[in-house]
Amino acid sequence: MQKPSRALLVLFLVCLLWRTIESRHTWQEAFKVLGISWNKDGTLNRSILIPMEDPSPYADSDPPPKALSQDIYLSANSKAYVRLYIPVDPPKNRKLPLIIYLHGGDFVLYSASTVIFHNFCNDIASDFPAVVVSVEYRLAPENRLPAAYDDALNAIFWVQNQALGVGGRDPWLEYADFSRVFLLGSSAGANIVYHAALRALDFDLQPLKIRGLLLNQAYFGGLKRTPSEIRLIDDQYVPLYVNDVLWSLALPKKANRDHEFCNPISGGTYLGRVFRLPKVYIKGDFGDPLVDRSILLAQFLASCGVPVYYRFNPGGFHGIELQNTTAAQQLYNDIKWFINDNYGLEMPQGITSLHASM
């Protein structure tokens, strides 16, 4: 028998080590990290609760709100709602871009009213300024994908009905420019934005015009590990074993991580629609284990002729803009440029367009 080569021996040892690394954690450990446990009825008990924030519909509240906000239920028979934001003193002489926002939380956690996402939308509504529609979507595993995509699409239809005046229009949406609609999402929210936008291509949304998608640290995956996932296997914010459990909770039963909901470049029903997408902004950080997924998506979209603008920062971590004011301001500046780039604003330093090699 021929002796195995040194390269094969090294490969065998690496694979053995990799299997050991992946098997050293359990579902119970992942559940403990996430602060979740099973209820007897198959639902989740979510014990780690970030504070929720009530809407602030009145400018004379104490303390004064940064932006005005209100919750609007989409159906009398449903818990589905959107949280609508406008500046405290919206301009009277021009319409504002309308941003539909999908929050993060790995499909399993959090809400549109979670304080970190509420504050994020307050900042966008007041500082840009813009009208923001933050979507409360159903969580997994009680409602596995594509439930969140359906909820996002229903929110888009609600905005369309507001534009058409079906059943009357909320006075706050009089400030919105329905011809300048953008879909913005972070983490799982960015995944939802991508899939909801592809689904929306099947419908006539007039008079809405979705001008672009903004994907911040998008939550995608796949069966084959990427270099960033291997390099950051025990990342503080997205450890790989926790990530695997989250996908097991979110995906349809019996689906693996190469399902199109998780791995958007693996094939599936959406690929024929991708070339019809509007321009896309993609932001990632090299300290985030998921960053390679965003790089692969940017390359894929560019190959399909989609206008892509991307920023990949050195260092950082998943969710950095929620903890670091400098990172948050950079993201705000990028979003503001992206939604206004037809108005002569210079591209921010660090953003690269579709035409440059990655």
At residue 185, what are phi and psi to the nearest 5 degrees?
Answer: -150, 150
Distance, in Å, from the CA atom of 331 to the CA atom of 123, rounded to the nearest integer, reads 11
State the chain's maximal CA–CA distance in angstroms: 84
Distance, in Å, from the CA atom of 331 to the CA atom of 312, rounded to the nearest integer, reads 11
Q: Where does the chain show beta strands of DSSP type E?
A: 36-38, 44-46, 67-73, 81-87, 96-102, 131-136, 176-186, 210-216, 279-285, 308-313, 352-353
CB 271 within 8 A of CB 259: no
What is the H or E stretch that residue 132 is in? strand 131-136
At residue 10, what are phi and psi to the nearest 5 degrees?
Answer: -60, -45
The yes-or-no answer on residue 187 being catalytic is: yes
Nearest to 85, CA basis, from 59, 105, 46 = 59
Phi-psi region of 345 (alpha: psi -120 to 50; beta: other; left: phi over 0): beta
Catalytic residue among 56, 126, 186, 187: 187
Nearest to 134, CA basis, from 146, 145, 124 = 124
Nearest to 187, CA basis, from 233, 234, 122, 137 = 137
Q: For residue 253, give every residue at least 6 positions away whose Cβ sits within 8 Å of its Cβ, in sequence order, or none.
A: 144
Give the bridge partners for 284, in sequence order.
312
Q: Which two tokens stand for residue 9?
A: 């021996």
At residue 279, what are phi and psi to the nearest 5 degrees?
Answer: -60, 150
Catalytic residue among 126, 186, 318, 334: 318
Catalytic residue among 288, 292, 294, 334: 288
Omega within 30 of 0 (cis) for the link into 227: no
Provide the annotated active-site residues.
187, 288, 318
